[in-house]
Structures are given as C-alpha cells and as structure tokens.
Structure 1
Amino acid sequence: MSRVKTSILALFALGIAACGILATTIVLAWQQLPTLDQLIDYQPKIPLRVYSAEGEPLAEFGEEKRVVLNVNVIPDHLKQAILAAEDERFYEHPGIDVQGIVRAAFVNFVRGGKAQGASTITMQVARNFYLSREKTFNRKFYEILLALKIERELSKDQILELYLNQIYLGQRAYGFAAAAQTYFGKPVQALTLAEAALLAGLPKAPSQLNPIRNPEAAKKRREYVLSRMLEAGFITQEQYAAAAAEPIVLAQDRYRNDPTAINGNGVGQYVAEMARLFALERFGDAAYTAGIQIFTTIRLADQRAAEAAVRHGLLAYDRRHGYRGPEGMLDAKAVAERDWDTLDAQLSSYPDFPEALAAVVLEASDRRLVVWRHGKTVEFTDKALDFVRRSLGAKAPEEQRLRPGAVVRLRPLPNERWELTQLPEAQAALVSLDADTGAVRALVGGYDFGLTKFNHATQGQRQPGSSFKPFIYSAALEKGWGPGSWVEDAPLFFSAELTGSKDWEPKNYDDRYEGWMRLRDAVAKSKNVVAIRVLNDITPAYAQQWITRFGLDPAKHPAYLTMALGAGSANPWEMARAYAVFANGGYLVEPYFIQEIRDAQGNLLLRVQPKVAGQDAPRVLSERNAWMMDSLLRTVVERGTAAAARARLKRSDLAGKTGTTNNQVDTWFAGYQPKIVAVSWLGFSQPRSLGRAETGGRAALPIWIEYMETALQGQPEVKRPMPEGISTVQLDDKTEYHYSEYPPPSPYPPSSEPVEEAPPPNDMTEDPFYDLIQQRRQGTPDAAPRAPVLDRPFLN
C-alpha cells in the first residue's frame, strides 16, 4: 500500500513539475510573442488601381490583387460559407477550438501522421501575419499562443475582417473581394451561394482547388462546403440542392460564351499603362503596394467606342487584302479522335482577342468548313467561305491551306452568327480630346494591348501626310492668301541644281491636274502641288516657325518644300493637340489623361487644373485665322475627301483633313466638332505600303466616323459667328471670305498662258541659302536646300 501511495505522490509531483515547466514555458514564450501593431494598424499591400472618369476600374498593377473591405459589407452567405468550411464555432471559442484539436489529434493518431489540422480562423490570422506554414509542433504551439493574444486585444469582427482581406486564394488574389473579381468578375455582394461556397473552400489548398486549373476539385470542395452549411443550419435543403446543381461559370468562361464582351485585358489598357508609368516615376515601387488610385479623364463609353472603331477599321482593311492562311496547327490525332480535352488545352495557347477568337478546323473542303472552339462547333458554307476560299482545296498553297488542325479566327456577328477573320498585321490608333481643356476622352494605341504593347498613339512618329497641310494654309492666311485666292494646279519640277540633291517632281495623289482653281477647292481635294506652291510663296522657314503655335516641334518638320506634303513626323497625340487649336477658336490646350490621384484612404494627392480655351489657355491664332481655317476644313467634310463623314453623321459642324503619305505608308484623318477633337491613324508598325488604293479617306476616316457616332451623341450643333476682320465677296455664285486688309480675290482666273519661272540667280554666292546648298551638295545632313523661285500666285 505504501508503494502505491509513493507512486501516486511521485506522479503527482511529476504532474506539478510538468505543469510548472509548461507554465514557465508559456510565460517565457508569451513574453517573446510579437506585438500586434501589424494587426491593429493593418496596412495591407494594395495594388495600384486605374479608373475611368466615371470611377469605373480600368486596370490594377501589383504582385497582390487585393480589395480591402469592411466586414459589415461582406454578404451573410459568404461569411456563413467561410465559417462552415473553416471554423464553425468561431464566435464561441477563445481563439482555439479544444473540440477541434481533440478531433484532429484523434484522426492524426489513427492515420499515423499529421493528416488533419485544427486551425481556427484566429490561428490562421496568426500564421498568415507572423508565422510560416511548416507543420511542426513548435510552430503550432506559438500559433495557439498568438491566437489567444489576438483574441484578447481584437474583437471577433476585427479578426474576421483581417482574415477576409488577407487570406491567399490563388491567382495572385488576396482576400475574398479580390478573389470574387478574379474568378467571377463581380463584387462579393453579387456572389451567388454556389460561388460563395467555392471561394470559401479555397483557403485549404488554393493551388490544388483553383477552379481555373482544376474545376473538378473545386466543384467537389464546393459541395463539401455546401454540405457543412446545411449541417450547421445556415441553408435549407432546397438551397443546398440548387447551389450544388449550379454550373461553375468563371469570368473567362463568360467571355468565351459572350464574344462581344471585352476580353481579360479589359478596356483602356493603353491609358492604364500610361498611368502605371506615371505612378512608377512619381512614387517608385511603392506605387504597386500603397493603394494609389489614379482617376483618368477617359470616358468609358467613348473609350469602348474608340476601341471598337479601331478594331473594325483594321479588320475591314485586313479583309480587303485577303486571307494569309492558318495561324498555327494543333495535333491532327487529337482532331481525328475528337479529343476535346487535348484540343481545349492546345487551343488555349492561342489567346482570344476582341472579335478574333481562336478556333480549330475539324473538317475542310472546297464547299464546307467546320470549326470548333471550347465546346462550340460552327459550320461555314457558300458565301461565308469567300474570305478563305483561296486557302481551301488541294490546289491551295501548302502554307496557306486550311485542313483539320488549322487554327483560325472567328468574329461574332449579330443573331449568333459568325464570320471567319484573322488577326490584322496592320495597326491603328485614335486619340480624342476635349477641345477646350485637352482632357483625353479616349485613347487607343493598337488593335489590342495583349497583342502589342507599343502605343502607336503616343510613341509612334509617322509622316502626317496631307493632314499637315492645314498648318501651312493657316500660315498662308497671314501672308495674304484666302479661300478664294487663285492657285494653279499643274505639275511641278525641281532640278537637282535647285534641290541640291536630285530632281524632284511632286505629283497629286491621282496624278490629275485641273489648272487654275480656288484655294478652297484645292484644300477640299487635297491637291499636293497647290500646297507646295503656297508653301513656296510663304517660304518653308516662315511655315516652320508658324507651326510652333500648334505645339508642333519644328525639328521634326524641316524647312523644306516637302513640309507641304507632311514629310516630317508626328503622332496622333501631337496632331490632336494641334487640331484642337482650330476646333476651339485659336487656343493651345495641353492634352492630359490623369484627372486626379488619391491614396488608399481616398486622400487627394494630385489634381490637374487644365488651362481652358477662352479663359487662361494661351491664344496662338487670331480669332479670324481660326474661323477661316475652320471654314476651309468644313469644306473637306462637306464636299471633299472626307465627305463620307457628313453623309454618315449628318452634321454641319464637322471639319477635318485626310492624310495619305507617299506609297500609302501612313493614312490619317484629323478632324473635330468644336467640342471634340479626334485623330485616327492606320499603318504598319514597321512602315511599308498599305496598298495603292488605301488612302486616309478609305482606311483612317471610317475609324473616326464610327467613334464620333458615339462621342457626338447629345452634342448640339455649333455654329460660329464670323469675327471682325473678315470681309465677304460673291464669287462663282457663292459667298467667299478674305481678310479685310487684303483686296478681295478676283472673280476671274489669271491668264491660261504658261508662267515662266524665274531662273536661278547667276551668282549663287549672293543667294542667302548658298552655304546650305553647298553643304547639301557635299553630303552634310540636315541642310535645307533653297526653295525654287516661282511666280507668286495671283491674289487679287
């Protein structure tokens, strides 16, 4: 008996000692626990976000996708799904769930390892903020202590809010709000019960349960969460059945099923990239984690219309020039065996682009083409094959022939119809500004940002062609020219002696000449030789100085006669700023695309205060010059090379100028309504001819027209009153205008007899351009040749 008592006393002593050791260990460990400042003053990594003028999201940049929300805005069914999946007794236990620990210990003992954990939501918060994910007893011990400490200093709702915003859920998404956008493309408040259950199941294994990569595993986990919600009494049997039967439709699936939707790159990506670069320069790497919010000037409806217009213009151009052949080839065996899983995986390597969706050919013959994309089969016959007909049949060139396994592109049409298309090789751009402030309403740098990151709207320097002529004519108005002035439309020839290099014989685009004509008609018909005669009269040096009024860089437009043909360089952004001067009545406004910048808490960091036309923007053209130029440019739209705009838009307040460069390398249309300026361009990234028939009026103008159909909705027509300093005269049964201090133009053309051009000076050393000519002849670059001497066109 004494031995039993002794054993009991010994065990009791050991128990007391063990408890003492454990208590000491806990005290020492507790003292080593970190402070909870990181939780109390929660500063998550919030990505840079870019918004439209209306506050709609355009893009976000950062390693972690995160949307921080207050726990009170999280819908109940999502919170219930999370509790059911992770910690049903969260609001009851003190940070650790003893019942859960006992259950996990028993399962682990039976299975002979650490098969199941017992982490509460509080313990997961402790681990996510302070500890590693390694499965050791030491880490679990500290996790439990931290959980107890967290429960002492934070409320249950504060803990749950930290969990909801911090937990990693795959696809770079941190927190349930970010995951809802990533997987389903919607805010958490719009999640269905089934979608909430799927997200609630992700914390267990975000990579393995990712519905994008492993939809079956995600579906099974969703069913488990729904069953736990049913057991907990959160949902009824009917709700469970309905949610379990609901198909998993991800954001990417909605795009596949709704091909008219914008793809994963989103809308306004070229502007978003411009905003990202601005933020990076201003804030450094902190821009990606500090929650910076950039609100742009982009109007969402305008931006969508601009992107659609650019796509449609490029697809139309591409269609005019024929099918080039399949984009690639998939596994022929998978096609023959109709191995849809393999085909789906292989086809996914060809990303979809708006209105150019990837598909694979299943059957191909002279009369029938059957294609498949992600579960949908489409058949083409008869006229629907016209675009690809040269690539069908055994006689088609091998590299262009369509056969089973060939990758093609589909374009959706109304009423669930489709047409065959291809990704365009050419590129296009559009910039639209508010004419009075310079605020960018829309900007498109190419067919799609996912296809090319190069921004042709701001980075590309191209020859503006005839769209540059209005700046020459604006300068000419100050030298006595007027819309009614006579000018000869006749061939020109400049010898090598005059040019200092080689013979130059500029021609009109169509190589047709009409003799003496009014300047207004020459502008409307975009006569090249007329522009050269006018520039020669006012001198290239004067014109080069004049264009600076429009914000144009004179270094990019050398003072040669070729300036009249737009042989310098500019981009759509610069051209839009320049044309805004005509649109707003003579004021230079600076384009800007950022409206304001705020921090993560919404505090204002920067707000742009633009200079406004008619208020504080500098006047660079007289009111009469701007009005006269507007009159000339309206003629281009009324009955000139841009008459299609008037016919389609049916407005009288449109003005602009087409532009086509030599060999049809670049095509432009720069135009405006007095409140909105827009410039469109189409060409190849690596300059080459678009084709003989491709002009600004055919390639670039349709883009401008389609965009302006949306941009001008609700805009009243504007009629400008004629300012002082302009007189009228009746010519050819029409009212014409001229500066009051100059005599009115003659109603009769000059003599039809040829005008003898003055020969070059005998003593070239007296020519003020002598030194430049000699430099040019010796091969010195950038030397301006002397302009040829021509008789001044008849002005009165």
Structure 2
Amino acid sequence: MEKISKNYRTVRLICWLLLAGISATALSTGGLYLYLSPKLPSVEALRQIKFQTPLRIYSADGKLIGEFGEKRRSPIRYDQIPQAYIDAILAAEDDQFYKHHGVSIKGLLRAASQILQTGQIQGGGSTITMQVARNFFLTFDQTFLRKANEILLAIKIENELSKPEILELYVNKIYLGNRAYGIEAASQVYYGKSIDQLNLAQLAMIAGLPKAPSRYNPIANPPRATIRRNWILGRMLELGKINQAQYTEALNTPLSARFHELALDLSSPYVAEVARQQVIDFYGEDAYSDGLKVYTTIDTKLQETAQKAVVSGLLTYDSRHGYRGPEKTIKLNDNISEPEERQKAYLEELNKIPVLGGLQPAIITEVFEQSATALLGDGNNITLEWEQGLASAQRYINEDRVGSPPTKASQILSEGDLVRLLPQSDQQWQLSQVPAAQSALVALNPEDGAIVSLVGGFDFRQSHFNRAVQAERQPGSSFKPFIYTAALESGFTPATLINDAPIVFEDASLEGTWRPENDSGQFLGPTRMRQALYQSRNLVSIRILRSMGIRPTIEKMARFGFDTGKLPRDLSLALGSHAVTPLQIATGYAVFANGGFRVEPYLVKSIADVKGDLIFEENPLVACRLCPERLAHKQKEEVETEIETTEDEAETLDDLLAETAPSEPPAVDMTATKPVRLAKRILDERDAFIIDSMLRDVVKKGTGKKAMALGRDDLAGKTGTTNGPRDAWFSGYNHQLVATAWLGFDQNFNLGRREYGGSAALPVWIDFMSIALDGMPEAHRRQPDGIITVRIDPKTGKRAQPGSSGAIFEIFKVENAPEESDATHSQQESLDESDETLPEELF
C-alpha cells in the first residue's frame, strides 16, 4: 500500500511537471505571438505586390527591341506553370505543400535536431509558404526571432491566400542565378525558350536552383547541377509523379543549359537607348523595376532595313579605301606548341571579341600561297580562298590612295592575325574589316513626325554615341533648300537668273581671302535658280543669300526648327557651314514633304504599366492636309492660336526628343477622345509646291540622280558634301516618308577626294528606300491655286516667244510670272558682284 501511494505521488508530480511545462510553453508561445503579431505585415499586401520587372521597349507593331533593368523577370500566372515543374519543385522543396497549413512539423523537428547537433540555426525546415514569407517580408538573417516571424507569417498567409496564389508568388519571386528572377526568366536565360517548352529534365534542373543558385548553376557547375537534377527526378519517381520510363529518359538527357542573351525580336539598341533616356527623365530610376512597357513609333521592317543599309553602306565605302590590316596579332607562348593547345588558346581570345555589324572575328592559323585557314569562335576552321577578299585586299595608304593588288596571301595575312569575316549567302566567308568611318540614318513620317527608323552608327557595341540625334555636323549643300525656299518667298522664281561666276571676299577680320568654289571647279555664268539647285552651284547660293540679307534669312530658318543662335552670321550659311544633327535635317525636310507644315519628331508613342494599363499616349501635331476639311475649318483658328502660345519659333531641335514627351507622368483617360492637334503651316502652299518641284529635279537630273534606280517619279531630295570632303549627306522623301543619311568620320577626317553625298550617303538612302517604298503607290502633289505654268527661254528666264525653239515649261506664282518684257535681266544684274557686302556677311 505504501508502495502504491509512493508511485501515485510520483505520477502526480510528473503530471504537474508536464502541465507546468505545457503551460510554460503555451504562455511563452502566446506571449511571443502577442509580442510579434502586431508587428507582422499585412498579407493583403501580397495581392498588390509589384514584382521588380525590367523596363521593356517595343516597336509600334509590338516587337521587343530593348530591355533595361538589373533583374530579368517575366511574371507568369499559376495556370501557366507546367504541372511537371510544380511536381518537381514540390518534390525538391516541400512535398507536403498541399497538406500542411504553412508550417511543417516534420521539417521544424529536423531543423531543431540540427540546432542541437551544431548549436546554430541551419538551413532547411522551411515550407514554400515560409519561403514566401521570408522572400517578401523578412531578411535572410539566421536568428530565432526571424524564424519565429517566418512561422507566424506563413500561418497567416495560409489563412488568407490559396495554395495556387502562394505558389504563383513563389515561382515569380525566387532568384535562380544569372540575373534571372522567377522561373520564366530562368527558362529564357538557361535554355532560350519559355518555361512551357522545356522537357522534364530541364524543368527538374530549374527546380534544383532555388536551394543554391550559384552552387547548382548548370552553366557554372554542370556536374553538381546534374547531381541535383537527378536527385529531384528520383524524388519525383518516389512520390509517384513520374513513371520509370520518364525517369530513365530524363536521367539520360544530356545537359543542354547555356547562357542565352536577352531574346529580342529585333535588336535596336540606338532606338532603345533614346527611349530609355526619355522614360527615365519622366519616371526616374523606378522605371527600371516597375515593369513599364514603352511602345515606340518604330516600324520593325523599316528599322531592320535601315540597320542593314547603314552597315552595307559603310562596308562598301570602306572597301574602296583599302585594307588596313588585322585588328591585332595574337602571340602565343612558346610552350604552347601542340595544335589542340594552340586552338584552345586562340578560342579563349576569340571569346573576348564581340561580333560587330555582322562581321565575325576569326584568327588566322595557317597561311598558304593564295589561301589561308581561319578559326571561328564556334571552333570551326574554314578556308579563305584567293577570291574571297584576299585578291582585292589592297593596302590602305591614305584616304586617296591604296597599294598595289597583292600577289600572295602572306602579303596581307600572317598566323595569329585577328581579322573580320563577312558571311556570304552561300555559307562562304569573305575577308573584311570593321569600318573606320561611321554613318547614321533617320526616317520619319512627314504627316505627324513619328520616327519610323533610327540608326546611330555601325554597331552599338562598338560605340554608344548616337550620331542620328547627337552628332552635330555641317550639312553642306543639303541645307540649300532652306535658303532657296526663303528666296522663293522673297520674290525669286525658279527661272530667276543668278551669275555662277568666281567671287572673292576680303576683310581685315578674316585670316585670309575667301574664294568659294563649286565642287566641279567650273562656272556656268548666268544660271536659272532651278538649275543651280539641282546642280548644287555654290556661287549661286552665296549670291542668293547675299541678295536677301543674312539677318532676314536667319529669321526664316527658325520656323524649320533650327537654332538661330547657332547659325553663322556670314555668307557661309548658304553652304551649310553650321552644325546640325541628321534628325534636325530630316525634320526640316518633312516640311517640304507634307506641303509646308511644321511637325515635331517623336519616338515614344505610348507607355503602359506592368498591368498593361495605358499611362501615357502621345498626341502629335498632324499636317492639316490629312485632316478632314470640316475638322480643319472648325479647329484651325483655335489650334493655331494655341500653337502660337505654346511653340516658341526659336526653340531648337536639340531638345525636340525631350519636348515631345510629357513634362510629368500624366494619367490618361482612355474614355475621352483626344482632339486632333493641327500642325502650324509655316510655308505658303505655293512655295512648298515649287520647292518640291525643284527638289524632284535634283533626283531626276541632278546630283541625286542615282536615286532614279528606284524607278519612281515621286522622289525629291538633296545631296550634301562639306569641305574636305568630311561629311556626306543625302536627305530625300516622297509624300509618306522622309529619310536622311549621313556618312563621315567621328574624328572629322577627310573621306577622300572622290567621295560626295551622291557617292557615299546616297547609296545608304537608296538601300533603305528600296525596301521602305516597296508596294507604296506613287502620289503626286496637287497643284495649288495661284500657280501658273509658263513656257520660258532657258537662257534668259523670260517668257518664250511663240514658235521659239528650245523653250521649256516652268511654274510660277501668278504674281511672279514673267511677262513679254520683264525685268529679269535687271534682277540678275542686282545679284552681280557690284552688290555691297557688309563685313559681318563675309565667311
């Protein structure tokens, strides 16, 4: 009896101790919960979460052309996650995911065991829900307090979110190496395709990354990554998610992961960079992570065509001036003698060299009499035959001279030379080189200023400098149409005779005497203004400007968008001696193309947020001739008044790209229809018609005649060549498209004495327009009221007598049409050397 009583007391003591322990644990847990609970963040915030998604730039037709941001992420919905990946990630991270309520007791006991064994908090024990809590709200510090918060948050998340919602958050948030956040980005980085296109082995490989993205990276550590993949496949087999045949097939699937650059529909870095700068100016640094989608005005087909035209034009120009030799010669250590070792060493060097403008880097490994062997970056060895660029590789001496044709390969190549090869259509290669010169092309819609293509150089990887919008170069004769337009407004006509004869200017303020010349060095004497433009007679342009006066002419240049403060106050203005960008010139030519209206160039068409909601949409000025007549009549007075108050005539094109964007990020009410903003007319319709007619003659029979190869009758434009020559230009258009091409050296070197706008820049323009205008019907401008056609004597510019031979037709404004006995001769005399020239008008 005494023994039973003693046992009873012992059991009772144990029960009290257990009860006290349970109470203490409950009190501790309750106290911890009461302490931490008020500090836990709201789970509702997860429903409103904004993933850090990069800024993406698109063309007008929705093609991805650029992406910016430190993190590559493409969020996907739960229903877009392949079931095989769900099975794989749960097998690897949390096979009880659908059974527990946020916390796995088994996992926590395992983690507690590790603490008892090591005395420290180890990894593991966390469910996917707990990982979501940590990834979104907590730090990665291994402390008891953080773990307690993680557990409580996981329970709270499970109470408020569904399992699909939790899993969707998890797969979009996790970091998986190589700047990839989320499984879709990882799929693109490692395999170059979407997650739904991966096989079982690839899905298991990605499922193995969350545990340790660097340790199990299939690119950095293939053996360890393969072990991790195979373990996950084994777990899937064990859990019944795959059968034995699927397991065996996936297990034997070779490792195929490699780093994939961002998959763009069309790489257009010059365009993307301009758009990026605008967006960052509007929205700040947050734009890199807010998932903004920027839609530009770029036409993908025209952009690709422009990029090819610039590369082709530069390679063609460069080939005329000789071979400059290898980029460098790679010398290997003497102890690297075996062929396999030498090839491996050469490949290491090739992997450091980027492809530029489609030109593949290669290293010459052997040189024969009239051929050579070259190693490509993919490890293939190819043979360069004599006809594949070797026979034509005459040495560059200077811009005007090349050496004699080589007779053997060793005269131009040696082992270890790093050269460039141009791929041919028949899978052959041709010896080439990266051009030393640069080029730019910009094209826009003259009706509203939308930039449809923009190329700033040979290759963005070679130089980030965007010559289309940043390079200010002398336009040369391509500026003359603006001078001639001012002349038409001042009473000149296409038949006005101006003396094309030598002229000399001397002034104490000048360093020497200025003797302007024509490119040909010849003089034609009295010349009709139309002929002077299409033959680009410099002396005629100077006399026209001198007659009108420098100051009045400069004042008329402001309406075309030129910064009048930068224009020279001397007669060199007539020859395009000031600096402008290709975009500025193209914008000015848009006035000729649209019949006299000032439009502003713009690149960003609209911006959408990460949800796809529109937050900005451009509302450009539109040339009135495209607007319905009733709308034009109704809004004309109101809109012109608004434009006069919001557009400063003296504004410069340097800031046009910035000005086309909103001053602050506006909200867009898509339910409201935006009123059409009518562009201001800056040229009388008749003057616009006449200058267009004169510029079409430049193409038909003048310096731009090569453009007739396009077989069209609706083209107009003007060449431009500066002293040296250092700059070559061609700006041209039809009724739907304006394009300006420039070619020159960044260092302002001479292009060569036989290089002109018509030989260097015009071919770039033709290559572009041949595709851009394909299928576009010809359209001819309607002759406006107040224009009359008169038969004239081309030698005198006067109305031709009935029956006179050699007479031609010319167009005039009615008030300027020549009569039987007009004052043309006296007008010509007023433009001769006897005119007084003020000192500030001299060059």
Please report the TM-score for the alignment, with normalisation by the length of structure 2: 0.81
Q: What are the superposed Cα offsets for residues 722-746 of structure 1, whole Å, 9 maximum, x if unpaired?
A: 1122221235454322222124399
Alignment of 1:188-207 (within 5 A): 188-207=195-214
Residue among 497, 512, 524 paired with 1:502: 512
Give, in whole Å, the separation in 1 of the partners of 2:129 and 2:337: 52
Give, in whole Å, the separation in 2 of the partners of 1:444 and 1:128: 42
Equivalent position of 1:346 in the other structure? 349
CA contact (8 A) 1:671 1:679 kept: yes
Alignment of 1:734-773 (within 5 A): 734-744=808-818, 769=838, 773=839
Q: 1:493 to 1:740 in 2, by over 3 A?
A: same
Give, in whole Å, the separation in 1 of the partners of 2:419 and 2:596: 50
Give, in whole Å, the separation in 1 of the partners of 2:179 and 2:262: 20
CA apart distance, 1:74? 2.5
Deviates more, 1:182-191 or 1:549-558: 182-191
- 2:420 is equivalent to residue 359 of structure 1: no
Equivalent position of 2:424 in the other structure? 413
**Which amino acid in structure 2 is aligned with residue 566 of structure 1?**
G
Equivalent position of 1:170 in the other structure? 177
Equivalent position of 1:594 in the other structure? 604
**Which amino acid in structure 2 is aligned with residue 588 of structure 1?**
R
- 2:483 is equivalent to residue 483 of structure 1: no
Equivalent position of 2:705 in the other structure? 643
Alignment of 1:439-450 (within 5 A): 439-450=450-461
Q: 1:681 to 1:336 in 2, by over 3 A?
A: farther
SS in 2 for 1:585: coil
CA apart distance, 1:193? 4.0
Equivalent position of 2:320 in the other structure? 320
SS in 1 for 2:679: coil
Q: 1:90 to 1:323 in 2, by over 3 A?
A: farther
Uncovered stretches (5+) of structure 1, i.e. residues with no partner: 256-260, 762-766, 774-783, 788-796
Give, in whole Å, the separation in 1 of the partners of 2:122 and 2:412: 56
SS in 2 for 1:662: coil
Q: What are the superposed Cα offsets for residues 401-434 of structure 1, whole Å, 9 maximum, x if unpaired?
A: 7444433223322232222333332222111111
- 2:500 is equivalent to residue 438 of structure 1: no
CA apart distance, 1:559? 3.1
Equivalent position of 1:156 in the other structure? 163
Equivalent position of 1:779 in the other structure? none
Q: 1:73 to 1:785 in 2, by over 3 A?
A: same
CA apart distance, 1:594? 1.1
SS in 2 for 1:741: helix
Give, in whole Å, the separation in 2 of the partners of 1:208 and 1:746: 94
SS in 2 for 1:69: coil
Give, in whole Å, the separation in 1 of the partners of 2:622 and 2:519: 38
Equivalent position of 1:245 in the other structure? 253
CA contact (8 A) 1:496 1:504 kept: no
CA contact (8 A) 2:325 2:395 kept: no
SS in 1 for 2:621: coil
**Which amino acid in structure 2 is aligned with residue 651 of structure 1?**
R
CA apart distance, 1:46? 2.8
CA contact (8 A) 1:556 1:570 kept: no
CA apart distance, 1:441? 0.7
SS in 1 for 2:764: helix
Give, in whole Å, the separation in 2 of the partners of 1:57 and 1:122: 34
CA contact (8 A) 1:633 1:656 kept: yes
CA contact (8 A) 2:219 2:257 kept: no
SS in 2 for 1:721: coil
Deviates more, 1:280-289 or 1:92-101: 92-101
Q: 1:638 to 1:241 in 2, by over 3 A?
A: farther
Alignment of 1:111-150 (within 5 A): 117-135=124-142, 139-150=146-157
CA contact (8 A) 1:431 1:572 kept: yes
- 2:694 is equivalent to residue 687 of structure 1: no
**Which amino acid in structure 2 is aligned with residue 347 of structure 1?**
L
Alignment of 1:11-160 (within 5 A): 13-31=16-34, 32-33=36-37, 34-35=40-41, 36-99=43-106, 117-135=124-142, 139-160=146-167
SS in 2 for 1:536: helix
Q: What are the superposed Cα offsets for residues 107-136 of structure 1, whole Å, 9 maximum, x if unpaired?
A: 999999988734322122122123333456
| Number of residues of Structure 1 aligned to a counterpart in Structure 2 | 753
CA contact (8 A) 2:81 2:196 kept: yes
**Which amino acid in structure 2 is aligned with residue 272 of structure 1?**
A
SS in 2 for 1:351: coil
Equivalent position of 1:383 in the other structure? 387
Q: 1:82 to 1:535 in 2, by over 3 A?
A: same
Identity among equivalent pairs (%): 42
- 2:374 is equivalent to residue 370 of structure 1: yes
Give, in whole Å, the separation in 2 of the partners of 1:234 and 1:713: 56
CA apart distance, 1:624? 1.3
CA apart distance, 1:521? 2.9
CA apart distance, 1:472? 1.1
**Which amino acid in structure 2 is aligned with residue 434 of structure 1?**
N
Q: 1:40 to 1:479 in 2, by over 3 A?
A: closer
CA contact (8 A) 2:787 2:813 kept: yes
Equivalent position of 1:566 in the other structure? 576
Q: 1:735 to 1:127 in 2, by over 3 A?
A: same
**Which amino acid in structure 2 is aligned with residue 63 of structure 1?**
E
Equivalent position of 2:467 in the other structure? 456
Equivalent position of 1:532 in the other structure? 542
Alignment of 1:671-750 (within 5 A): 671-731=732-792, 732=806, 734-744=808-818
Give, in whole Å, the separation in 2 of the partners of 1:294 and 1:506: 49
SS in 1 for 2:60: coil
SS in 2 for 1:181: helix
CA apart distance, 1:718? 0.9
CA contact (8 A) 1:492 1:506 kept: yes
Q: What are the superposed Cα offsets for residues 572-616 of structure 1, whole Å, 9 maximum, x if unpaired?
A: 111111000000011010111111223223333221111110141
**Which amino acid in structure 1 is aligned with residue 340 of structure 2?**
R
CA contact (8 A) 1:127 1:143 kept: yes
Give, in whole Å, the separation in 1 of the partners of 2:164 and 2:830: 92
CA RMSD of superposed structures (Å): 3.6
**Which amino acid in structure 1 is aligned with residue 565 of structure 2?**
A
Residue among 528, 531, 551 paired with 1:541: 551
Give, in whole Å, the separation in 2 of the partners of 1:379 and 1:654: 45
CA apart distance, 1:656? 0.8
Q: 1:183 to 1:352 in 2, by over 3 A?
A: farther
CA contact (8 A) 2:703 2:758 kept: yes
Equivalent position of 1:625 in the other structure? 687
Q: 1:389 to 1:11 in 2, by over 3 A?
A: farther
Give, in whole Å, the separation in 1 of the partners of 2:292 and 2:261: 30
CA contact (8 A) 2:305 2:768 kept: yes
Equivalent position of 1:781 in the other structure? none
Equivalent position of 1:776 in the other structure? none
SS in 2 for 1:727: strand
**Which amino acid in structure 1 is aligned with residue 161 of structure 2?**
L
Q: What are the superposed Cα offsets for residues 661-708 of structure 1, whole Å, 9 maximum, x if unpaired?
A: 110211111111111111111112222212222221222112212222
CA apart distance, 1:166? 0.8
SS in 2 for 1:669: strand
Uncovered stretches (5+) of structure 2, i.e. residues with no partner: 397-402, 628-677, 793-805
Give, in whole Å, the separation in 2 of the partners of 1:97 and 1:133: 19
Give, in whole Å, the separation in 2 of the partners of 1:693 and 1:219: 62
CA contact (8 A) 1:485 1:746 kept: no
CA contact (8 A) 2:788 2:817 kept: no
Give, in whole Å, the separation in 1 of the partners of 2:570 and 2:79: 69
**Which amino acid in structure 2 is aligned with residue 630 of structure 1?**
D
CA contact (8 A) 1:297 1:441 kept: yes
**Which amino acid in structure 2 is aligned with residue 739 of structure 1?**
K
Q: What are the superposed Cα offsets for residues 217-238 of structure 1, whole Å, 9 maximum, x if unpaired?
A: 4455444444444444444555
